[in-house]
């Protein structure tokens, strides 16, 4: 009887450890986002607590997220400046206070426009929220939006 209990306990512990291995923490250096190439016209989570992916784990690739980007894009305003938007989706039951900022680049990939500023935003639990940012320049631009949790 004792040996059966011991075996079951060991098996449970082993499963628990393996299950733990399926989730890399946000401070892991093995997260894909840490070394991902910089892409234009994109929205990224600079806070890996909100969203992170990894590959090569015991159970293969993995993903963990609280927020995701439902859609994003840009359009020209009436004065020719660029408006960028990103729709964030909260997959949790809790409201999230986040900050977002947009870095604009010209068509050659050179950073341009005014210095990006963090803008606060609340994404209610299980809801969508839209972040918008305007450029000041009228030239065609590319963008990169960064999202992090509010400190």
Partner 1 sequence: MKTACALATASLVLSGCASNIDNAKGKPSVYEDVSTTGSVGGVGIESQDVVAVTDKMMRDMMANPLLTGRSTPPRIIIDNEYIKNESTSVVNTNMFTDRLRIELNRAANGRMVFVGRHFSDMVQKERDLKRDGAVDGGTIRKTAAQAGADFRLGGRISSLDAIDRNTGTQSRYSQISFEMVDLELGTIVWSGLYEMRKAARDNVVYR
* Closest distance of CB 150 from partner 1, Å: 9
* Closest distance of CB 133 from partner 1, Å: 7
Q: Which is nearer to partner 1, 36 or 76 (CB)?
A: 76
By CB under 8 A, the count of residues binding partner 1 is 16
Work out whether 110 is an interface residue with partner 1 (CB under 8 A).
no
Site for partner 1 in 119-148 (CB under 8 A): 119-120, 133-137
Alpha-carbon distance 125 to 95, whole Å?
A: 5
β-pairing verdict for 42-45 and 142-149: parallel
Which among 5-13, 14-22, 74-82, 85-93 is the span making contact with partner 1, rule CB under 8 A?
A: 74-82
Burial 28-63 (b: 16+ CB within 10 A, else e): eeebbeeeeeeeeeebbbebbebbbebeeeeeeebe
User: What DSSP string describes 63-80?
Assistant: EEESEEEEEEEEEE-TTS
- H/E stretch holding 139: none
- What is the phi/psi pair of residue 103, to 5°? -100, 125
* Closest distance of CB 34 from partner 1, Å: 22
CB 73 within 8 A of CB 133: no
Work out whether 97 is an interface residue with partner 1 (CB under 8 A).
no
Q: Which of 5, 79, 108, 110 binds partner 1 (CB under 8 A)?
A: 79
Q: Which of 77, 126, 127, 139 binds partner 1 (CB under 8 A)?
A: 77
Binding site for partner 1 (CB under 8 A): 77-79, 81, 83, 114, 117-120, 133-137, 151
């Amino acid at each position: 009887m004792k040996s059966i209990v011991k075996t079951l306990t060991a098996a449970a512990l082993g499963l628990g450890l393996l299950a733990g291995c399926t989730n890399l923490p946000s401070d892991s250096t093995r997260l894909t986002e840490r070394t991902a190439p910089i892409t234009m016209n994109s929205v990224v989570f600079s806070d890996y607590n909100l969203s992170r992916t990894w590959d090569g784990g015991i159970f293969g690739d993995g993903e963990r997220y609280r927020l995701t980007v439902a859609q994003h894009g840009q359009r020209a305003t009436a004065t020719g400046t660029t408006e960028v938007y990103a729709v964030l989706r909260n997959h949790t039951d809790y409201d999230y206070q986040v900050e977002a900022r947009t870095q604009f680049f010209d068509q050659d990939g050179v950073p341009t426009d005014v210095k990006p500023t963090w803008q606060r935003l609340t994404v209610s639990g299980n809801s969508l929220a839209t972040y918008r940012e305007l450029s000041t320049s009228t030239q065609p631009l590319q963008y990169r939006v960064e999202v992090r949790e509010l400190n």
